């Protein structure tokens, strides 16, 4: 397919022009009429596209933002191409799992599938789309946004992930480390301290390799507040699967109110994790400033 480079200031073209078709501003192909525009393969692709677009429109706002973070602003088209071209075989993998599923599993996915008029079995399309979406985030973004290659028996968790609303997301504000907003606080204890934000901070216990505390934030700049002291080790700050810094929290004397600022490249939904590096680590507050 040819690419057209127009002179500066030339109006963007689209539609038919002589014997060519111009679309997306600068792409062109010859105008042709297929010998048979309604082959079984073409009809299948049209019905598949229709079903995918209907199902994709039901995606919850959390996942839409996560997709934009991982796949870019044109994430919808990317997701469709992942299903259509199926270069990594995930769509075919889902269809094979569906064909091998038992009645309970099929009924489960049909029960949680969004109510849209589809040419195909709604549970089948929904499961395949959830599976491909989870695999796409894992492939292009890593183990973030609670993504999973959702299996045929996971219709409850898969649907909950797909439908997640815009809740428990840190916006422009300063937040105490609270279980309603931060995940994996079961291995932490609350310590009262007048010098800390809201009069307390959280410190880990029995935490080891692989342990992390996570929150989701919408923004571009955030500040991490923490104490230092003789009983603390170090903590890694990981955003969207990328290590940004390792903070040494050890000091000869306890001191609250230390701050580290992180400036991200885009303002969007981000997966923020504070990961174990060594010893105990402490969290006081997180403030999204922009």
| 59, HSE (Cβ side, Cα atoms, 13 Å) | 20
pLDDT at 87: 82
Question: Are the CB atoms for 143 and 241 separated by under 8 Å?
Answer: yes
pTM of the model: 0.80
198 pLDDT exceeds 50? Answer: yes
What does the DSSP assignment read for 156-201?
A: HHHHHHHH--S-S-B-SSEEE--TTTSB--TTEEEEE-TTSGGGEE
Average pLDDT value for residue range 121-148: 94
What would the pLDDT profile of 50-106 be if each residue is shown by its tens digit?
888 888 889 999 999 999 999 999 998 888 888 878 888 999 999 999 999 999 999
Look up residue 260 and give its two tokens.
Answer: 């580290």
Residue 18 has pLDDT above 70, yes or no: no
User: pLDDT confidence of 37, banded at 50, 70, 90?
Assistant: low
In the chain the domains, ranked by start, together with CATH numbers, are 1-32 (no CATH), 40-163 (no CATH), 174-288 (2.60.120.260)
List, for residues 109-131, the tens digit of each pLDDT value: 999 998 776 777 889 999 999 99
b/e sequence 66-75, b meaning 16+ C-beta within 10 Å: bbbbbbeeeb
End-to-end CA distance of the chain: 42
Interval 145-154 mean pLDDT: 96
pLDDT at 273 over 70: yes
For the chain, what is the largest distance between any 2 Cα atoms, rounded to a whole number of angstroms?
A: 81
Contact 211, 275 (CB under 8 A): yes
Please compute the mean of the pLDDT values over residues 127-148 and round it to a whole number.
Answer: 95
| 39 Rama sector, left if φ>0, alpha if ψ -120 to 50, beta otherwise | beta
H/E run at residue 87: none
- For residue 257, the surrounding DSSP H or E stretch is strand 255-278
Distance CA 56, CA 68 (A): 13
> Please, which pLDDT band fits residue 10 given cuts at 50, 70 and 90?
very low
What are the tokens at 158?
Answer: 């898969």
Beta carbons within 10 angstroms of residue 61's beta carbon = 14
Classify residue 7 by burial, with Cβ atoms within 10 Å: 0-12, 13-18, 19+: exposed
Q: Across the chain, what does the average pLDDT equal?
A: 88
Q: Is 283 exposed, middle or buried (0-12, 13-18, 19+ CB in 10 A)?
A: buried
**pLDDT tens digits along 238-265:** 999 999 999 999 999 999 999 999 999 9
Q: pLDDT-derived band of residue 9, with 50, 70 and 90 as boundaries?
A: very low
* Half-sphere exposure for 50 (CA within 13 Å, toward CB): 12
> Is a pLDDT exceeding 60 seen at residue 17?
no
């Amino acid at each position: 397919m040819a690419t057209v480079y127009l002179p500066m200031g030339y109006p963007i073209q689209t539609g038919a022009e002589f014997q060519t078709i111009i679309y997306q501003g600068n792409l062109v192909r010859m105008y042709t009429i297929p010998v048979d525009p309604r082959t079984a393969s073409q009809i299948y692709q049209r019905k598949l596209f229709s079903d995918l677009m209907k199902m994709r429109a039901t995606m919850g706002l959390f996942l839409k933002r996560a997709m934009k973070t991982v796949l870019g602003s044109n994430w919808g088209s990317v997701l469709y191409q992942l299903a259509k071209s199926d270069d990594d075989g995930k769509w075919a993998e889902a269809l094979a799992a569906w064909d091998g599923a038992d009645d309970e599993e099929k009924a489960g996915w049909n029960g949680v599938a969004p109510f849209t008029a589809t040419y195909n079995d709604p549970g089948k399309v929904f499961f395949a789309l959830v599976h491909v979406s989870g695999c796409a985030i894992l492939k292009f973004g890593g183990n973030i946004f609670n993504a999973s290659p959702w299996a045929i028996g996971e219709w409850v968790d898969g649907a909950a992930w797909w439908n997640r609303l815009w809740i428990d997301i840190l916006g422009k504000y300063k937040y105490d480390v609270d279980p309603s907003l931060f995940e994996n606080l079961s291995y932490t204890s609350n310590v009262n301290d007048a010098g800390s934000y809201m009069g307390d901070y959280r410190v880990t216990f029995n935490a080891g390799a692989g342990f992390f505390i996570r929150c989701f934030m919408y923004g571009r700049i955030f500040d991490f507040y923490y104490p230092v002291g003789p009983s603390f080790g170090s903590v890694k700050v990981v955003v969207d699967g990328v290590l940004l810094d390792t903070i040494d929290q050890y000091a000869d004397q306890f001191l609250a109110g230390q701050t580290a600022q992180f400036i991200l490249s885009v303002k969007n939904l981000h997966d923020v994790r504070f990961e174990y590096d060594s010893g105990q680590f402490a969290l006081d507050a997180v403030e999204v400033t922009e």
